[in-house]
Every structure is written in C-alpha cells, then in structure tokens.
Homo-oligomer: A and B are copies of this chain.
Amino acid sequence: MFESAEIGHSIDKDTYEAEVPALREALLEAQYELKQQARFPVIVLINGIEGAGKGETVKLLSEWMDPRLIEVRTFDQQTDEELARPPAWRYWRALPPKGRMGVFFGNWYSQMLQGRVHGEFKDAVLDQAIAGAERLEQMLCDEGALIIKFWFHLSKKQMKARLKALKEDPLHSWRISPLDWQQSQTYDRFVRFGERVLRRTSRDYAPWHVVEGIDPHYRSLAVGRILLESLQAALANSPRKRQGNVAPLGHSIDQKSLLGALDMTLRLDKRDYEEQLVTEQARLAGLLRDKRMRRHALVAVFEGNDAAGKGGAIRRVAAALDPRQYRIVPIAAPTEEERAQPYLWRFWRHIPARGKFTIFDRSWYGRVLVERVEGFCSPADWMRAYGEINDFEEQLSNAGVVVVKFWLAIDQQTQLERFEEREQIPFKRYKITEEDWRNREKWDVYSEAVGDMVDRTSTEIAPWTLVEANDKRWARVKVLRTINQALEAAFARHKK
C-alpha cells in the first residue's frame, strides 16, 4: 500500500516555482467559491509517519490559501468537558460549517493507531474503531461533506534521517509526539497497523491519498493538487448529496400495526396514581443521587402524537428532581448555525456530561417522522437516518449514557377531545395551532412512520417504550417507572 511512496519522488525547484503561482490562484478561487456556495464543508484529515512533513504542509497550505477560511484543529489532550462525554463529541464540536474547511490533526485515525501501537488494545478493538470511523465518514459524506484524507509516508531509512535533522532544529523540537519514533519497532508497527486502517477505510466517498514526504517540493505540489482537484470536482458537482437507489420499506400487508396493538384502555385511578407517582419520583431522585450515576449520564427522548401529553409527562419527571440536575432541550426548527452542520450536530451539542440528565422534548427522530412525512428531506436522507441514529445511540451507550425513548400514543378520538379542550381554555390556547389540525389529517402516514421508526431503531441498547397515553396518569407513571428501571439495569450491569 505504501510502495509507491518509498521510491524517492521529487520535483526540482524550477518546476516547483513555475507551478506554484497558478496552483495558489486556483486554490484561492476554489476557496472563495466554496464560501460563496456554502453548500458543504471540507474536512481534511492529516495522518502518517512522524517527520513526513504533515505540519509543514498544513502550514504551507495556510500560506497559499486564505487562512481565514481554514480551521486547523489538533486533538491531543482531552479537556475534562470532553472526557465526560462520548469520544466523538470533541470531533462534532470542531466540525467546520458549510462553506469552510477544517484541517484535523491528531484525528480519530491518530487515536486508534496510537492505541494499537502502544499495545493498549488488540486488533479486534482496532477494527471496532475502524468501523466507527467508516460510519462517521459515510454519514458526513451523505450529509454533503467533502472529506480528503492524506497519509504522509516515509521509508524507515528516510524517517530516521528526518528525525535526526528535526532534532537539531529548535523550531521543531518543542512538539512532542505521543509515540516514541526513535524505536525501530514503533515504525514497523505503525506502518503495519496503518496499512490495515488505510485498506479498510479508503472508500469511494473518502479515499486516502498517500503522499511520499521526503521531498518538500513533491509533497507540497502533490497535496496542493489533490486538494484542488477534489475541491473543484465537488464544487462542480451539484448537489453533493449522494442519491443512490433507495430500497423502499415494505408496507404492512395486513391491518395489524404496532400502535394498533396497544391496549388504549389502560388507566390508573387517582389514588393509585398519586401513590405510584410519588413512589417513582422518589425512586428517580434517589437513583440520580446514587454514586453509580457518576459513571453514567441519562438521556430521555419524548416523542408522541400531538396532545399526547409529552409536556405533562416531562413535568412529572422534572418535578422529581432538583432543577440543577437536569436540562430540558425543546427541539424546534434548526437555527442557521445548525443548518450549516450535519443533521445530528444539533443533538450532539446537548449531550449531557457524565452524571447529568438531559430530556429531549422531540428529538433526532424528527428526521424519520415529521421530515419524512412532510417531505422536508429526501427519502434517501430519512432512510439512512435509521442507521445513523442507531450508530449515534450506540456511541452514547458505549460511553455509559442510558438512553430511554418514549412514544406517547393516543387514539384519534382522544386527540380530538384534547384539541377542542385546548381551544376552550384560555391559557392552553398557545398549545394548539392550525398545524396541529393539519397534522391530524395525516394520522395514517404518521402511524406508518412511527411503526417503521420503532421497528428500525428499537434496539437492545436503546429500546423504544410505547406508552398508552389516553389516560395521562397511566402514561406519566409508566414513563417514570421505565426511566427508573433503565437506570437500575444500567447500574446493575456496571457492577458485574
């Protein structure tokens, strides 16, 4: 895989100097076009052998291009805010918005390679990390991002010579690599595992470019040209979203449905309700104060029919707690900054730190519900969302986040009664809009979307709980009890 990057590529000074001016102009043009179009972000990943010119090349690109439109990020030490969240959080928060370019040093590939070379884990864990990187990049590309991956290579002999030269240069000695490259074994292992990583993650949508790093002229021109060509192709290619064939979801072939199978007569009388509510609230308060909560975070997602009682249920959960312990994130239309990012970005930014609890009032499931039904996104977008959401929730779960998801279901008659009641009572008027009536007419398509959603995203790590919500009391107690059970199960699992 690295063979052709060890053959001593070089370009003479005259050729280099003759070519650079036109390349620079073209890169600048492409950058401004990128900004103008503001259709997609560019993510440049910088990896490879120590001493192969990674830093120098990025510095040169910043000189050639307009550095005001480039964000260079290193991910060395995690801050405590990052350590308290899933590992990918730090990358999400650093993503460049549409129209800008982010250069990521010390990215996900560096982390997995360091870990493997250091012997912190074996191939199985490396392969997990590789698969995670693939899913992330696939998602980013599906969302329109242009990803350009550079691997700077040197032969072992070349590297040793470079390290010696760098050591004597005070301008370079201040940066410390997390790997000890002086050891011959480090190089061998890095190349071996690097080969495995590149083989698995070089995909049509985000291929690796291996660049021989020994000759600065060759290296710089090669990188500059690849960058330019990738940019130009993406800018010409409109729209950037990959629109492959979309396999349709099967429709139900009988009249049975998940929601139809719910027993909507379930109810609690007032006395039972008050007793059980107080019990479950006290239980939740206790669980969140439990020492074991320090290793976890809690995310509760509330979805449901309009007027199903999401707000009331959320208030009963909140009422159990000190307001300093939770945050409620109401999800409405995305803001301008959110629209300039991949779909899941606006949820990642609210992911709780360890020990904390975030309630999402509506959520990332909007993609496969309202956006699907109303046609706010393409079928390809919402179809791939099922998988992306499962990946997202798996990352949360792996980081100790307990994910609890509720669909509050009512029947059409109950909804009608509640709508009418809302129109009557002065301080509930704000709760009912024209849109609610319009959505009501789409009852069946929404029900189908809910069925597909549950089928495709109710997973072992983050199952859906369907809540029979014709009776608000029943619904509220069921919600609280489900959260409590999920927390207890997580605490018990951790003990093992």
Q: Which residues of A contact B (CB under 8 A)?
A: 25, 28-29, 32, 36, 55, 58-59, 62-63, 66-74, 79-81, 103, 105, 171, 174-175, 285, 289, 311, 314-315, 318-319, 321-324, 327-328, 330, 335-337, 361, 426-427, 430
Contacts of A71 in B (CB 8 A): 327
When the two chains form their complex, are residues A171 and B285 in contact, meaning their CB atoms are under 8 A apart?
Answer: yes
| A79: chain B residues within 8 A (beta carbon) | 79-81
Q: Pick the contact of A323 from B67, B319, B327 — CB < 8 Å?
A: B67
In the complex, the chain B residue whose C-beta lies closest to that of A430 is B32
Contact, CB under 8 Å: B285 / A319: no
Q: How far is the CA of A328 from the CA of B430 in the complex (A)?
A: 44
Measured in the bound complex, the distance between the Cα atoms of B69 and A327 in whole Å is 10
A59 to chain B, nearest CB (A): 6
Which residue of B29, B81, B105, B319 contacts A324 across the interface (Cβ within 8 Å)?
B105
Collect the chain B residues with CB atoms within 8 Å of residue A72's CB. Answer: 323-324, 327
Which residue of B is nearest A33, CB measured? B430
Report the bound CA distance from A171 to B288 in whole Å. 11
Contact between B171 and A63, CB atoms less than 8 A apart: no
A63 touches B319 (CB 8 A): yes
Closest to A172 in B: B322
Q: Do the beta carbons of B328 and A55 come within 8 Å of each other?
A: no
List 25 A–B pairs whose Cβ atoms lie within 8 Å, in order of A's numbering.
A25-B427, A29-B427, A36-B430, A58-B323, A62-B318, A63-B315, A63-B318, A68-B311, A68-B330, A68-B361, A69-B330, A70-B323, A72-B323, A72-B324, A73-B324, A74-B324, A79-B79, A79-B80, A79-B81, A80-B81, A81-B81, A174-B289, A175-B322, A335-B335, A336-B337
- Assembly CA distance A106 to B289 (angstroms): 20
CB of A68 within 8 A of CB of B323, answer: no
Q: Name the contact of A62 in the complex, choosing from B74, B285, B323, B361 (C-beta under 8 A).
A: B323
Q: A335-B337, A336-B336, A336-B337 are in contact. Are A67 and B314 (CB under 8 A)?
A: yes
Inter-chain contacts of A105 with B (CB < 8 A): 324
Closest residue of chain B to A175 (Cβ to Cβ) is B322
Q: Is the CB of B336 within 8 A of A28?
A: no
Chain B residue with minimal CB distance to A69?
Answer: B330
- A151–B412 Cα gap in the complex (Å)? 49
- Specify which chain B residues have a CB less than 8 angstroms from the CB of A69 in the assembled complex: 330
Q: List the B residue with the shortest CB-CB distance to A316.
A: B63
User: In the bound complex, do residue A59 and residue B335 qualify as a contact, i.e. CB atoms below 8 Å apart?
Assistant: no
Q: A328 and B68 in contact (CB under 8 A), knowing A103-B323, A337-B337?
A: yes
Determine the residue in chain B with the shortest Cβ distance to A29.
B427
Which residues on B sit within 8 Å (CB–CB) of A62? 318-319, 323
Q: Is A311 touching B66 in the complex (CB atoms < 8 A)?
A: yes
B171 and A68: CB pair below 8 A?
no
Whole-angstrom CA separation of A397 from B426 in the bound complex: 52
Q: Report chain B residues within 8 Å CB of A330.
A: 68-69
Closest B residue, CB atoms, query A64: B315
Residues of B within 8 A of A55 (CB): 322, 324
Q: How far is the CA of A63 from the CA of B32 in the complex (A)?
A: 51
Instruction: Give Cα distance in the complex from A172 to B336, angstroms.
Output: 42
Question: Complex formed: what's the CA distance from A285 to B174 in Å?
Answer: 11
Which residues from B are CB-within-8-Å of A336? 335-337
Contact B174 A328 (CB under 8 A): no
| Beta-carbon contact of B324 and A67 below 8 Å | no
| A67-B32 in contact (CB<8A) | no
Residues of B within 8 A of A335 (CB): 335-337
Q: Which residues of B contact A103 (CB under 8 A)?
A: 323
